[in-house]
Amino acid sequence: MIHFYELSTMNASQRVRLLRRAELQIDELTERVRPIIQAVRERGDEALVEFTERFDRVQLSPDRLRVGQDEIERAHRLLDSSVREAIEHAIRNVRAFHERQLPHELWFTEVEPGVMAGEKITPISSVGLYVPRGKGSFPSVMYMLAAPASIAGVPRIVVCTPPGPDGMVDPASLVAADLCGVHEIYRVGGAQAIAALAYGTQTIGRVRKITGPGSGYVAAAKRLLYGTVDVGLPAGPSESITLADESADPELLARDVLIEAEHGPDSSSLLVTASRPLSEAVMSILPEKIAALPEWRQAFVRTVFEAPEGTGGIVLAASMDEAIDFVNEYAPEHLEVQVREPFAILPKLRNAGEILLGHYTPYCTGNYCLGTNAVLPTGGFAHTFSSTSVFDFLKRTGLAYLTKEGYASLSETTCRLAEFEGFPAHANAVTERYRV
């Protein structure tokens, strides 16, 4: 049976259960991940080779950790031309959108006569991009991360991605990385990759920031390494909410709620509506749509929608306002809005990694080629985090300049506040300079 929830009949504990998603359960993984991180920190490449054999069942030597130019050129030859064209089209749109985000490199404003304040924008010196592979090939994740990093002007862009069973990196991902100007690619995945990027090994130089989605183990590694390295936005297992009213087509809804659910058994996918007939119609169509999927994707989707531990289903609200309140509380990674007037309710939608409006904007267009970024905050962190953008790869430095007139206008205020807070050296620096 598809999970069905009626908000008006749920108690507090049931509502908490509904808001739960897989990423929030990573606490139990931290103790498994801790020794992996410690081993990489202490033994470097040796530990990476050991864990790659244990977890990926691939035997490597340290000199094969880095992907060589010959393998990248081979990937260009192997990749089907139609797939390459699709990747190039997607990258063009992603670049066009993210180029519009670039701020002015340097700016000043005169806050009062002689008092100039501004900012200098500079790229982060090195970033590590984590591109998962476990449940499939994800060139889209590669260009969603690498394109904005390249546009931001990051001098050193490093990618870690797990090897396939043959020890090779997915050709589509290699082509996407090459087209986006990635500087280094390593065939390392999981928590060990995050540790390598954070601490550095004999082969992999440490980076200043790590970003990209991953499994619960990757999320646990990032949490443990917070403070050692900037671990970026929390991007864990996929999650989505489809918000719909009675004008929506049940057939389309049944198709769309499967999009994020087929990523894996730890995904979350909810249909939220105030229409009981719509919810019943979708519930009746879903089994047929699920059965039409390949068996291994069926298994993922059935876990999401049917298993006791699954975090997907249909949510019935008493009104559209209650539905919107629930969406804002949940703060989904992806939010698809299929209502009669999507722009009318847009001002009320506050918390989501992305908002896809209208019947012709399914999740998959945003995931691949619409232009907006598909690497988004999960686990409820859309309450405070933004979607991946060029700003994730830039930093702002405050600038100030005072003329003699500006200094004179600020000296008394500075001195009084310094004395009030008990900082005599602050006050003396002003009074002594003023006398000079």
Kindly state the tokens that stand for 176. Answer: 């996407």
User: What distance separates the 2 farthest-apart alpha carbons in the chain?
Assistant: 84
262, 333, 336, 354: which is the annotated catalytic residue? 333
| DSSP codes of every residue in 403-417 | -HHHHHHHHHHHHHH
Please give the C-alpha separations between residue 13 and each of 9, 240, 322, in angstroms, as whole numbers.
12, 21, 18
115-123 and 394-402 beta bridge pairing:
antiparallel
Kindly state the tokens that stand for 344. Answer: 């009318």
User: Does the annotation count 89 as an active-site position?
Assistant: no
Q: Residue 194: in which H helix or E strand, if any?
A: helix 190-199
CB contact at 8 A, 313 and 3: yes
CB contact at 8 A, 374 and 142: no
Cα–Cα distance for residue pair 319/100, rounded to 1 Å: 38
HSE (side-chain half, CA atoms, 13 Å) at 128: 27
User: Does the annotation count 288 as an active-site position?
Assistant: no
Please give the C-alpha separations between residue 334 and each of 134, 242, 313, in angstroms, as whole numbers.
21, 8, 15
Cα–Cα distance for residue pair 410/425, rounded to 1 Å: 16
Tell the residue number behind the tokens 């900012």, with chain if given: 119
Residue 208 buriedness (CB in 10 A; 0-12 / 13-18 / 19+): middle
CB contact at 8 A, 204 and 213: no
334, 336, 354, 359: which is the annotated catalytic residue? 334
Q: For the sheet with 106-112, list strands across it.
A: 106-112, 115-123, 394-402
Which residues are identified as catalytic?
A: 333-334
